[in-house]
Amino acid sequence: MIVNLIAEITAGLTSSINWNDVVHVLVLKSHLNSTVILGQSYDIFTNFQKAWKNFVDTGQIGAFFIGIFVGWFFKGIFR
């Protein structure tokens, strides 16, 4: 759909471009890059565990819940 709109907008300037070939190349490149994504390790889970442990160890989780309670309290007062 976007390719068709681009072709209509730029009809006079790019009449020699075959838009089907452009789409084919874009799809082919996206498939080639997907193998790189599949080949990566799952370090995101270990990073999440480290971040959560740091969040709990530094007391930020307590500050988070205190902030929620104080906000809820002030919302009730000024409502």
The sign one gets for the Cα dihedral 49, 51, 57, 61 is negative
| 38 compared with 59, residue with greater pLDDT | 59
Distances (CA, A) of 46 to 11, 31, 53, 61, 78: 51, 28, 11, 19, 42
pLDDT digit string (tens) for 19-48? 667 666 666 665 555 555 556 667 778 888
Tell me the pLDDT of the chain averaged across its residues. Answer: 74
CA 42 centroid distance within chain: 17
User: How far apart, in whole angstroms, are the C-alpha atoms of residue 63 and residue 74?
Assistant: 16
Q: What is the pTM of this model?
A: 0.42
- For the chain, the domains span 2-38, 46-77
